[in-house]
Amino acid sequence: MKYFLLSLLFLSALNATKINDVSNIVGVRENQLIGYSLVVGLEKTGDGTTSKFTLQSISNMLKAMNIDMNPIDIKSKNVAAVVVTATMKPFARQGDKFDVTVSSIGDAKSLEGGTLLMTPLKGVDGKIYALGQGAVSIGGRNSRGGAATHPTAGIVFNGGFIEREININLFNQEYATLSLKEADFKNAVAVQKAINSFYNTQIAVATDSRSVKLKCPQNRSMIEFLAEVQDIDMNYRPKNKIIINERTGTIVAGVNIEIKPIILTHGDITIKIVEQKVILSPDGAIRIDKDLVIGLNENEVYTKEGTTTVANLVRSLQKMGASPTDIISILEAMKSAGSIVADLVVM
Protein backbone atom coordinates (compact mmCIF):
# COMPACT_ATOMS: atom_id res chain seq x y z
CA MET A 1 0.00 0.00 0.00
CA LYS A 2 1.23 3.48 -0.87
CA TYR A 3 1.32 5.86 2.13
CA PHE A 4 1.54 9.64 1.99
CA LEU A 5 2.35 11.78 5.05
CA LEU A 6 1.75 15.50 4.51
CA SER A 7 1.65 18.57 6.75
CA LEU A 8 -1.02 21.24 7.11
CA LEU A 9 -0.90 24.74 5.64
CA PHE A 10 -2.79 27.79 6.88
CA LEU A 11 -2.76 30.72 4.46
CA SER A 12 -4.98 33.68 3.68
CA ALA A 13 -4.21 35.54 0.50
CA LEU A 14 -5.21 39.03 -0.56
CA ASN A 15 -4.42 40.26 -4.04
CA ALA A 16 -4.11 43.89 -5.10
CA THR A 17 -6.08 44.42 -8.26
CA LYS A 18 -8.03 47.05 -10.20
CA ILE A 19 -11.76 47.39 -9.58
CA ASN A 20 -12.25 47.01 -13.34
CA ASP A 21 -10.86 43.46 -13.14
CA VAL A 22 -13.42 42.24 -10.60
CA SER A 23 -16.60 44.11 -11.53
CA ASN A 24 -18.85 45.24 -14.38
CA ILE A 25 -20.98 48.35 -14.77
CA VAL A 26 -24.65 47.41 -14.64
CA GLY A 27 -26.27 48.10 -18.01
CA VAL A 28 -23.01 47.99 -19.94
CA ARG A 29 -22.88 44.51 -21.44
CA GLU A 30 -22.64 42.47 -24.60
CA ASN A 31 -25.73 41.25 -26.44
CA GLN A 32 -26.12 37.95 -28.29
CA LEU A 33 -27.46 37.91 -31.84
CA ILE A 34 -28.75 35.01 -33.92
CA GLY A 35 -29.98 34.40 -37.45
CA TYR A 36 -30.69 31.73 -40.05
CA SER A 37 -29.30 31.71 -43.58
CA LEU A 38 -27.62 29.77 -46.36
CA VAL A 39 -23.99 29.19 -47.26
CA VAL A 40 -23.54 28.84 -51.02
CA GLY A 41 -20.65 27.99 -53.33
CA LEU A 42 -19.78 24.66 -51.75
CA GLU A 43 -18.16 21.92 -53.80
CA LYS A 44 -20.85 19.23 -53.44
CA THR A 45 -20.33 19.21 -49.66
CA GLY A 46 -23.61 20.95 -48.79
CA ASP A 47 -26.91 19.59 -47.52
CA GLY A 48 -28.46 16.65 -49.32
CA THR A 49 -32.08 16.12 -50.29
CA THR A 50 -32.92 14.84 -46.82
CA SER A 51 -32.55 18.37 -45.38
CA LYS A 52 -35.93 19.58 -46.58
CA PHE A 53 -35.66 22.92 -44.80
CA THR A 54 -32.58 23.72 -46.90
CA LEU A 55 -34.44 22.98 -50.13
CA GLN A 56 -37.37 25.10 -48.96
CA SER A 57 -35.01 27.94 -48.06
CA ILE A 58 -33.42 27.82 -51.51
CA SER A 59 -36.85 27.88 -53.09
CA ASN A 60 -37.90 30.89 -50.96
CA MET A 61 -34.72 32.75 -51.84
CA LEU A 62 -35.19 32.16 -55.56
CA LYS A 63 -38.85 33.18 -55.32
CA ALA A 64 -37.75 36.51 -53.79
CA MET A 65 -35.68 36.97 -56.96
CA ASN A 66 -38.72 36.26 -59.16
CA ILE A 67 -37.65 32.69 -59.91
CA ASP A 68 -40.39 30.19 -59.11
CA MET A 69 -38.85 26.83 -58.22
CA ASN A 70 -40.47 23.85 -56.52
CA PRO A 71 -38.28 22.53 -53.65
CA ILE A 72 -38.73 18.99 -54.99
CA ASP A 73 -36.92 19.97 -58.19
CA ILE A 74 -33.83 21.29 -56.39
CA LYS A 75 -30.98 18.73 -56.39
CA SER A 76 -27.96 20.95 -55.69
CA LYS A 77 -25.51 19.94 -52.96
CA ASN A 78 -23.64 23.24 -53.13
CA VAL A 79 -25.79 24.91 -50.45
CA ALA A 80 -25.96 24.41 -46.69
CA ALA A 81 -28.41 25.78 -44.12
CA VAL A 82 -26.65 27.43 -41.17
CA VAL A 83 -27.36 29.16 -37.90
CA VAL A 84 -25.45 32.43 -37.61
CA THR A 85 -24.44 33.73 -34.18
CA ALA A 86 -22.55 36.82 -33.07
CA THR A 87 -21.83 39.02 -30.06
CA MET A 88 -22.71 42.71 -30.18
CA LYS A 89 -20.31 44.75 -28.07
CA PRO A 90 -21.60 47.51 -25.76
CA PHE A 91 -21.75 50.97 -27.35
CA ALA A 92 -21.54 49.47 -30.87
CA ARG A 93 -22.37 52.05 -33.53
CA GLN A 94 -23.93 51.81 -36.98
CA GLY A 95 -21.42 50.56 -39.52
CA ASP A 96 -19.17 48.85 -36.97
CA LYS A 97 -17.87 45.49 -38.15
CA PHE A 98 -17.56 42.28 -36.16
CA ASP A 99 -16.99 38.55 -36.67
CA VAL A 100 -19.90 36.14 -37.05
CA THR A 101 -19.95 32.38 -36.52
CA VAL A 102 -21.78 30.00 -38.86
CA SER A 103 -22.75 26.45 -37.92
CA SER A 104 -24.38 23.85 -40.15
CA ILE A 105 -27.76 22.50 -39.05
CA GLY A 106 -28.25 20.07 -41.93
CA ASP A 107 -26.19 17.14 -43.19
CA ALA A 108 -23.49 19.21 -44.92
CA LYS A 109 -20.03 17.64 -44.90
CA SER A 110 -18.07 20.90 -45.03
CA LEU A 111 -18.56 24.67 -45.30
CA GLU A 112 -15.08 25.15 -46.79
CA GLY A 113 -15.02 27.65 -49.64
CA GLY A 114 -18.61 28.78 -49.04
CA THR A 115 -20.10 32.26 -48.87
CA LEU A 116 -22.69 33.30 -46.31
CA LEU A 117 -25.65 35.08 -47.85
CA MET A 118 -27.01 38.27 -46.28
CA THR A 119 -28.37 37.31 -42.87
CA PRO A 120 -30.52 39.44 -40.55
CA LEU A 121 -29.21 39.05 -37.00
CA LYS A 122 -31.80 39.46 -34.27
CA GLY A 123 -31.65 40.08 -30.54
CA VAL A 124 -33.75 38.44 -27.84
CA ASP A 125 -36.48 41.02 -28.50
CA GLY A 126 -36.84 39.85 -32.11
CA LYS A 127 -35.53 43.10 -33.59
CA ILE A 128 -32.83 43.14 -36.28
CA TYR A 129 -29.63 44.74 -34.97
CA ALA A 130 -27.11 43.67 -37.58
CA LEU A 131 -26.54 41.94 -40.91
CA GLY A 132 -24.01 39.22 -41.70
CA GLN A 133 -22.47 38.24 -45.03
CA GLY A 134 -19.16 37.13 -46.48
CA ALA A 135 -16.71 34.32 -47.13
CA VAL A 136 -16.63 31.52 -44.57
CA SER A 137 -13.31 30.45 -43.06
CA ILE A 138 -13.14 27.07 -41.33
CA GLY A 139 -9.57 27.45 -40.10
CA GLY A 140 -7.68 25.70 -42.88
CA ARG A 141 -5.74 22.53 -42.08
CA ASN A 142 -5.12 21.03 -38.69
CA SER A 143 -1.72 20.59 -37.03
CA ARG A 144 -1.14 17.29 -38.88
CA GLY A 145 -1.89 18.77 -42.29
CA GLY A 146 -5.25 17.06 -42.58
CA ALA A 147 -8.71 18.50 -43.02
CA ALA A 148 -10.04 21.03 -40.53
CA THR A 149 -11.22 19.54 -37.22
CA HIS A 150 -14.71 21.07 -37.45
CA PRO A 151 -15.45 21.63 -41.16
CA THR A 152 -19.16 22.22 -40.50
CA ALA A 153 -18.56 25.39 -38.49
CA GLY A 154 -16.66 28.50 -39.46
CA ILE A 155 -16.19 32.24 -39.05
CA VAL A 156 -16.88 35.16 -41.34
CA PHE A 157 -14.24 37.66 -40.28
CA ASN A 158 -15.62 41.22 -40.15
CA GLY A 159 -18.74 39.83 -41.84
CA GLY A 160 -21.19 41.50 -39.46
CA PHE A 161 -22.40 45.11 -39.76
CA ILE A 162 -24.29 46.98 -37.05
CA GLU A 163 -27.60 48.38 -38.33
CA ARG A 164 -29.39 49.28 -35.08
CA GLU A 165 -27.71 50.72 -31.99
CA ILE A 166 -28.53 49.94 -28.38
CA ASN A 167 -28.57 53.25 -26.55
CA ILE A 168 -26.86 53.29 -23.14
CA ASN A 169 -27.09 56.80 -21.66
CA LEU A 170 -24.50 57.05 -18.89
CA PHE A 171 -23.42 60.67 -19.38
CA ASN A 172 -26.50 62.29 -17.80
CA GLN A 173 -26.92 59.78 -14.97
CA GLU A 174 -26.26 60.71 -11.36
CA TYR A 175 -25.98 57.14 -10.10
CA ALA A 176 -24.33 53.97 -11.38
CA THR A 177 -23.99 50.45 -10.01
CA LEU A 178 -21.03 48.10 -10.06
CA SER A 179 -21.71 44.36 -10.18
CA LEU A 180 -18.98 42.07 -8.86
CA LYS A 181 -18.17 39.15 -11.13
CA GLU A 182 -18.33 36.82 -8.12
CA ALA A 183 -20.61 37.31 -5.12
CA ASP A 184 -18.64 37.96 -1.95
CA PHE A 185 -19.64 40.30 0.91
CA LYS A 186 -16.04 41.05 1.92
CA ASN A 187 -15.05 41.95 -1.63
CA ALA A 188 -18.12 44.16 -2.01
CA VAL A 189 -17.16 46.02 1.17
CA ALA A 190 -13.53 46.21 -0.04
CA VAL A 191 -14.71 47.91 -3.26
CA GLN A 192 -16.81 50.33 -1.22
CA LYS A 193 -13.89 51.21 1.07
CA ALA A 194 -11.42 51.63 -1.81
CA ILE A 195 -13.69 54.07 -3.67
CA ASN A 196 -14.63 56.10 -0.58
CA SER A 197 -10.98 56.28 0.46
CA PHE A 198 -9.91 57.44 -3.00
CA TYR A 199 -12.45 60.30 -3.04
CA ASN A 200 -12.31 60.90 0.73
CA THR A 201 -16.10 60.97 0.88
CA GLN A 202 -19.01 58.52 1.12
CA ILE A 203 -20.02 58.10 -2.53
CA ALA A 204 -20.07 54.27 -2.66
CA VAL A 205 -22.21 51.84 -0.70
CA ALA A 206 -22.35 48.04 -0.97
CA THR A 207 -26.02 47.03 -1.17
CA ASP A 208 -25.45 43.26 -1.29
CA SER A 209 -22.73 40.70 -1.96
CA ARG A 210 -22.41 41.73 -5.62
CA SER A 211 -23.70 45.30 -5.96
CA VAL A 212 -22.00 48.59 -5.09
CA LYS A 213 -24.03 51.74 -5.77
CA LEU A 214 -22.09 54.85 -6.78
CA LYS A 215 -23.00 58.55 -6.76
CA CYS A 216 -21.14 60.73 -9.24
CA PRO A 217 -19.27 63.70 -7.68
CA GLN A 218 -20.53 67.12 -8.78
CA ASN A 219 -17.21 68.18 -10.31
CA ARG A 220 -17.02 65.18 -12.74
CA SER A 221 -19.07 63.72 -15.52
CA MET A 222 -20.26 60.13 -15.11
CA ILE A 223 -17.86 58.98 -17.83
CA GLU A 224 -14.86 60.58 -16.09
CA PHE A 225 -16.03 59.22 -12.75
CA LEU A 226 -16.39 55.62 -13.96
CA ALA A 227 -13.02 55.79 -15.72
CA GLU A 228 -11.38 56.76 -12.42
CA VAL A 229 -13.32 54.20 -10.39
CA GLN A 230 -12.34 51.33 -12.67
CA ASP A 231 -8.64 52.21 -12.24
CA ILE A 232 -8.70 52.26 -8.42
CA ASP A 233 -6.62 49.61 -6.64
CA MET A 234 -8.31 47.42 -4.04
CA ASN A 235 -7.51 44.42 -1.88
CA TYR A 236 -9.35 41.58 -3.57
CA ARG A 237 -9.80 38.17 -1.99
CA PRO A 238 -10.22 35.70 -4.85
CA LYS A 239 -12.28 32.57 -4.35
CA ASN A 240 -10.24 29.41 -4.25
CA LYS A 241 -10.98 27.19 -7.23
CA ILE A 242 -9.74 23.86 -8.50
CA ILE A 243 -10.44 23.35 -12.20
CA ILE A 244 -10.48 19.74 -13.39
CA ASN A 245 -10.77 18.61 -16.99
CA GLU A 246 -11.69 14.94 -16.72
CA ARG A 247 -11.27 14.38 -20.46
CA THR A 248 -7.63 15.51 -20.59
CA GLY A 249 -6.69 14.90 -16.95
CA THR A 250 -5.65 18.54 -16.53
CA ILE A 251 -5.81 20.01 -13.02
CA VAL A 252 -5.43 23.74 -12.37
CA ALA A 253 -5.32 25.01 -8.79
CA GLY A 254 -4.01 28.02 -6.91
CA VAL A 255 -0.72 27.41 -5.14
CA ASN A 256 -2.11 28.44 -1.74
CA ILE A 257 -5.24 26.28 -1.45
CA GLU A 258 -4.88 24.61 1.93
CA ILE A 259 -5.65 21.02 2.86
CA LYS A 260 -7.14 20.30 6.28
CA PRO A 261 -6.25 17.18 8.32
CA ILE A 262 -7.67 14.02 6.82
CA ILE A 263 -7.00 10.31 6.35
CA LEU A 264 -8.14 8.99 2.99
CA THR A 265 -7.72 5.67 1.22
CA HIS A 266 -8.12 5.33 -2.53
CA GLY A 267 -7.23 1.94 -3.97
CA ASP A 268 -3.69 1.17 -2.82
CA ILE A 269 -3.02 4.82 -1.92
CA THR A 270 -3.53 6.08 1.65
CA ILE A 271 -3.17 9.78 2.38
CA LYS A 272 -2.70 10.99 5.95
CA ILE A 273 -2.44 14.74 6.49
CA VAL A 274 -1.18 15.89 9.92
CA GLU A 275 0.50 18.94 11.38
CA GLN A 276 4.26 18.54 11.36
CA LYS A 277 6.70 21.23 12.54
CA VAL A 278 9.92 19.41 11.66
CA ILE A 279 10.19 17.56 8.37
CA LEU A 280 10.90 13.87 8.72
CA SER A 281 13.83 12.50 6.76
CA PRO A 282 14.35 8.78 7.42
CA ASP A 283 17.50 6.97 6.36
CA GLY A 284 17.69 6.45 2.61
CA ALA A 285 15.06 9.10 1.89
CA ILE A 286 15.30 11.07 -1.35
CA ARG A 287 15.10 14.86 -0.94
CA ILE A 288 13.22 16.47 -3.83
CA ASP A 289 13.60 19.99 -2.44
CA LYS A 290 13.90 21.68 0.97
CA ASP A 291 10.25 20.99 1.80
CA LEU A 292 9.62 17.64 0.09
CA VAL A 293 11.17 14.26 0.88
CA ILE A 294 10.26 10.85 -0.59
CA GLY A 295 10.91 7.77 1.49
CA LEU A 296 13.27 5.02 0.38
CA ASN A 297 10.47 2.71 -0.70
CA GLU A 298 8.77 5.58 -2.56
CA ASN A 299 5.55 4.88 -0.68
CA GLU A 300 5.84 7.77 1.77
CA VAL A 301 5.95 11.54 1.32
CA TYR A 302 7.01 13.96 4.07
CA THR A 303 6.50 17.72 3.96
CA LYS A 304 7.23 20.60 6.30
CA GLU A 305 4.51 22.52 8.13
CA GLY A 306 3.33 25.42 5.98
CA THR A 307 3.82 23.65 2.65
CA THR A 308 0.78 21.37 2.37
CA THR A 309 -1.41 22.70 -0.42
CA VAL A 310 -3.40 21.15 -3.25
CA ALA A 311 -0.52 21.94 -5.59
CA ASN A 312 1.91 20.20 -3.23
CA LEU A 313 -0.35 17.17 -2.89
CA VAL A 314 -0.82 16.82 -6.65
CA ARG A 315 2.93 17.10 -7.20
CA SER A 316 3.56 14.41 -4.61
CA LEU A 317 0.96 12.07 -6.10
CA GLN A 318 2.45 12.55 -9.55
CA LYS A 319 5.91 11.62 -8.27
CA MET A 320 4.41 8.49 -6.78
CA GLY A 321 3.05 7.52 -10.20
CA ALA A 322 -0.64 8.13 -9.48
CA SER A 323 -2.74 8.42 -12.61
CA PRO A 324 -4.72 11.60 -13.43
CA THR A 325 -7.94 9.66 -12.77
CA ASP A 326 -6.71 8.70 -9.28
CA ILE A 327 -5.71 12.30 -8.50
CA ILE A 328 -9.07 13.66 -9.64
CA SER A 329 -10.93 11.06 -7.55
CA ILE A 330 -8.83 11.92 -4.49
CA LEU A 331 -9.48 15.67 -4.84
CA GLU A 332 -13.21 15.08 -5.28
CA ALA A 333 -13.28 12.89 -2.16
CA MET A 334 -11.35 15.50 -0.15
CA LYS A 335 -13.79 18.20 -1.27
CA SER A 336 -16.75 16.05 -0.22
CA ALA A 337 -15.14 15.40 3.18
CA GLY A 338 -14.48 19.11 3.75
CA SER A 339 -10.70 18.78 3.72
CA ILE A 340 -10.42 21.18 0.79
CA VAL A 341 -12.19 24.52 1.16
CA ALA A 342 -12.43 25.55 -2.48
CA ASP A 343 -14.85 25.42 -5.36
CA LEU A 344 -14.31 22.27 -7.41
CA VAL A 345 -15.17 22.87 -11.07
CA VAL A 346 -15.28 19.73 -13.21
CA MET A 347 -15.27 20.32 -16.97
Is residue 318 helix, strand or coil? helix
Q: Is 324 left (phi over 0), alpha (psi -120 to 50) or beta?
A: alpha
Task: Among 131, 162, 193, give the residue marking a domain's end.
Answer: 162
User: What pLDDT, in 10s, does the model give residues 120-156?
Assistant: 999 999 999 999 999 999 875 444 445 556 789 999 9
Looking at the structure, tell me whether residues 107 and 120 fall in a common domain: yes
Task: Among 135, 162, 189, give the residue marking a domain's end.
Answer: 162
Looking at the structure, tell me whether residues 38 and 135 fall in a common domain: yes
Looking at the structure, tell me whether residues 48 and 158 fall in a common domain: yes
Looking at the structure, tell me whether residues 337 and 322 fall in a common domain: yes
Looking at the structure, tell me whether residues 181 and 276 fall in a common domain: no
CATH number at residue 188: 3.30.1360
H or E segment and range at residue 153: strand 153-162
CB count within 10 Å of CB 140 equals 8
Looking at the structure, tell me whether residues 248 and 224 fall in a common domain: no
User: What pLDDT, in 10s, does the model give residues 283-336?
Assistant: 555 555 555 554 544 445 555 555 577 777 777 777 777 777 888 888 888 888
Residue 218 CB-density burial (10 A; 0-12 exposed, 13-18 middle, 19+ buried) = exposed
- For the chain, the average pLDDT equals 81
Q: Which of 240, 308, 264 is nearest to 12 (CA)?
A: 240
What letter does residue 72 receive in the DSSP assignment? G
Looking at the structure, tell me whether residues 82 and 7 fall in a common domain: no
The rounded percent of the chain whose pLDDT value lies above 70 is 81
On the CB side of 258, how many CA atoms lie within 13 Å of its CA? 15
Residue 41 has pLDDT above 50, yes or no: yes
Is residue 325 helix, strand or coil? helix
Residue 274 has pLDDT above 70, yes or no: no
Q: Structural domain of residue 198, as residue ranges? A: 17-27+169-236
Residue 279 has pLDDT above 70, yes or no: no
Looking at the structure, tell me whether residues 122 and 184 fall in a common domain: no
Buried b (16+ CB within 10 A) or exposed e, 20-29: eebbbbeeee
Looking at the structure, tell me whether residues 133 and 52 fall in a common domain: yes
Task: Among 134, 162, 190, give the residue marking a domain's end.
Answer: 162
Question: Which pLDDT does position 8 carry in this prediction?
Answer: 38
- For residue 53, the Cα-to-chain-centroid distance in whole angstroms is 34
Number of folded domains that form the chain: 3
Lowest mean pLDDT across 1-5, 230-234, 291-295 = 1-5
What is the reported pTM?
A: 0.65
H runs (alpha helix) in 200-323: 222-230, 310-319
